[in-house]
Amino acid sequence: MDRDAREFGSEGFERTKQLERQGDSERYAQLTENRPRLPADDPLSTFSIDVDTASYANVRRFLASGRLPPRDAVRIEELVNYFRYDYPQPAADKPFSVTLEVAACPWHAGRRLVRIGLQGRDIDRRERPAGNLVFLIDVSGSMAAANKLPLVKQALSMLVEELTENDSVAIVTYAGDAGLKLPATSGDQKQTILAAISGLSSGGSTHGSAGINMAYEQAAERFIAGGVNRVILATDGDLNVGVTGNEALVDLIRQKAAGGTFLTVLGFGEGNLQDEKMEKIADNGNGVYAYIDGAREARKVLVEQLTGSTITIAKDVKIQVEFNPAQVLAYRLLGYENRLMAAEDFRNDKKDAGEIGAGHSVTAIYEITLAGGADGGTATGAEPLKYQPQPAAAAQPVEGKPSRELLTVKLRSKRPDGDTSVLEESALTDRGGSFAEASVDLRFAAAVAGFGMILRGSDQKGEATLPMVAAIAASALGPDQGGYRAEFLDLVRKAQALRDGGE
C-alpha cells in the first residue's frame, strides 16, 4: 500500500477516530464513491446540480486545526464548486452558459478528463430585485461557542450592511420554542436590525421545527411576486426538540418550499456539527448550504456572492450525459454521489433538483476510458459481468476523423417561478489534447478533485499524490481574485505536513 493510501485510506484517519472516541458528535452522510460504468450497459449518467460549498470550508477548518477530515465530510463536487472559473456569460435569453472541455487525465495514463461547466447569469447588485428576507437563528445552548452565535451575529451584520430600502428583514429565533425577535423591517433601518442581532443570546434546547414554521409564515406574509423571498437559517444543525428526524424534517421543508420561498442554510461551529441534517434540509428546500468557518468566509458568501446567495435564476437544474460507446469504454463521475438521479427522472418535472443563483457556476468532472485507447481498452475498477460476455472494446476512431463525438450533455431547468423545464443539448468531441494544453481552469479543477480523492482515501485515485496536486495547482492559479486558489495550495501543504508528521 502506498504512503497516501496508508495515511488517507478507508482504514485510516486515526486522528479523526481519536476525536470520535473523545466524544466528537459531528454527523456526515455516508457516501459510496461512484464506480466506473460501461456505456454499453449504462449509457446515461444523470444527476442534479449542486452549488453547495459547505464541504470545502469544513475541510479547511479541519486542516487549519491540524486534523484530517472524516472521509464523508469530503464531498468532491463541493470542493470543486467552491472556486470561480472563467466561464462565459450566457446569451441574453439564457439563465446560464455551458462549457465543455476534455484533456488527458494526470493520475491515470491513457485516460481522459471531461469538464462540464455551467455559468449562471450575473446580475448587478444595483439591479437586484426587492428582497423579503427572514433570518432564522438558532439561539439554543449549543450555539454559545465563539465560532457559533457570535460568528452568526457578525456574519448577518455584514449582510445587513448590503441591504436597501427595497428589502425587508424579519428575525425569528428558536431555542426551546420559537419567537419573533424582529418583525419585518425595512432594509434601510440598519441600526434597528443590527441592534436586534446584537441583542441575541444563547440558551435552552433546540426546537428547530417550530422556528422553521414561524420563519416561513413570516416570509409568506410579505411574499414579493417576482422578488427575492428567502429564509436564511443559521445553525449547527443540532435540533433536539419537536421534529428532529432527518426524513420528518425533509418532509416539513418540502412543504414549506412549495410556497415559493427559497432557503439558505449556514452551518456554524464544531464538535456537534450536524452536516448531514443541514445538507438534507437545503437540498429539499430549494436551497443552498454553506459552512461559515470565519469572518472571511462569511464575507465571501453573504457580501461578495450576495446576488448568488439570494437570487435564484433557475431551479430544478438536471444534467444527463449520454456517452458514445463507440468512443468511450468506461466513465466515472467524480463526486455528486448524493445527487444521482434515475435516468427517467431527467424528464420528470415533478422530480426536484438543484438551484443555481445569479453568478454561480457549477462544474462536473468525468474520468473516461477511451474504447481501444492507450489504457488498454479495459475499465479498471469496473466489476466484470457474470451472465453475459464483456462488451468488446470498440475500434479506434477512424483515422482522419478525430472529431467524432464522445458524449452529449443534456440540461433541463425551470424558471424560478415555473413548473415546466426547458431542454438544452451540447455535444463534445475529443481533439486529443494533453493535460498541459488544457485550460488553467480545467487543470485547477482537476487538482481540487484529486485532492478530494486523496483525502477520501479513494481507490480510484490512481497515481494522484499530494505533491502532484500541489504542482498542478501551483501552475494553474490564474488571476486568483481573492487569493482563494493560493489558499487551496496552502491547504494541500497542510495535508502534506499532517501526512509526514504521521509517519
pLDDT of residue 241: 46
Query: Which carries the bigger pLDDT value, residue 204 or residue 213?
Result: 213
Query: pLDDT tens digits for 241-281?
Result: 455 566 778 888 899 888 999 999 999 999 889 999 999 99
> Looking at the domain assignment, is residue 354 inside a domain?
yes
> Looking at the domain assignment, is residue 479 inside a domain?
yes
What is the Cα–Cα distance from 291 to 268, expressed in whole angstroms?
6
User: 0.85 cut: is pTM over it?
Assistant: yes
> Looking at the domain assignment, is residue 124 inside a domain?
no
Last residue of a domain, one of 275, 310, 345: 310
pLDDT of residue 300: 96
The CATH number given to whatever domain includes residue 276 is 3.40.50.410
Instruction: Please state the rounded mean pLDDT for residues 24-35.
Output: 92
Instruction: Enumerate the β-bridge partners of residue 340.
Output: 47
Q: Do both 409 and 269 map to the same domain?
A: no
pLDDT of residue 501: 73
8 A C-beta contact, residue 178 and residue 207: yes
> Looking at the domain assignment, is residue 83 inside a domain?
yes
pLDDT of residue 248: 79
Q: Do both 296 and 326 map to the same domain?
A: no
Residue 131 reports pLDDT greater than 80: yes
Instruction: Please state the rounded mean pLDDT for residues 2-27.
Output: 48
What is the Cα–Cα distance from 460 to 399, expressed in whole angstroms?
31
pLDDT of residue 237: 84
- Strand, helix or coil at 25? coil
> Looking at the domain assignment, is residue 452 inside a domain?
yes
What percent of the chain is predicted at pLDDT more than 90?
Answer: 75
> Looking at the domain assignment, is residue 123 inside a domain?
no
pLDDT of residue 405: 93
Q: Do both 321 and 427 map to the same domain?
A: yes
What is the Cα–Cα distance from 458 to 447, expressed in whole angstroms?
15
Q: Do both 209 and 305 map to the same domain?
A: yes
> Looking at the domain assignment, is residue 42 inside a domain?
yes
8 A C-beta contact, residue 315 and residue 285: no
Query: pLDDT tens digits for 303-341?
Result: 999 888 889 999 999 999 999 999 999 999 999 999 999
- Strand, helix or coil at 291? strand
Instruction: Please state the rounded mean pLDDT for residues 28-43.
Output: 95
Question: For residue 253, what is its C-alpha cell?
Answer: 421543508
8 A C-beta contact, residue 237 and residue 143: no
Q: Do both 282 and 149 map to the same domain?
A: yes
Q: Name the DSSP class of 91.
A: P
Q: Do both 248 and 165 map to the same domain?
A: yes
Could you tell me which residues come within 8 angstroms of residue 255 by beta carbon, excluding any fewer than 6 positions away? Answer: none
pLDDT of residue 388: 42
What is the Cα–Cα distance from 501 to 10, expressed in whole angstroms?
19
Q: Do both 414 and 321 map to the same domain?
A: yes
Host domain of residue 203:
129-310
Query: pLDDT tens digits for 342-395?
Result: 999 999 999 999 999 999 999 999 999 999 755 544 444 444 433 345 554 444
pLDDT of residue 387: 34
The distance between the two most distant Cα atoms of the chain, rounded to a whole number of Å, is: 72
**Structural domains of the chain, count:** 2
pLDDT of residue 202: 87
8 A C-beta contact, residue 105 and residue 468: no
Q: Name the DSSP class of 27.
A: B
What is the Cα–Cα distance from 67 to 47, expressed in whole angstroms?
32
Last residue of a domain, one of 257, 276, 310: 310
Distances (CA, A) of 203 to 143, 156, 173, 272, 421: 8, 20, 11, 16, 45
Last residue of a domain, one of 310, 333, 362: 310
What is the Cα–Cα distance from 156 to 166, expressed in whole angstroms?
18
Q: Do both 95 and 150 map to the same domain?
A: no
Separation of CA 58 from chain center: 12
pLDDT of residue 244: 52
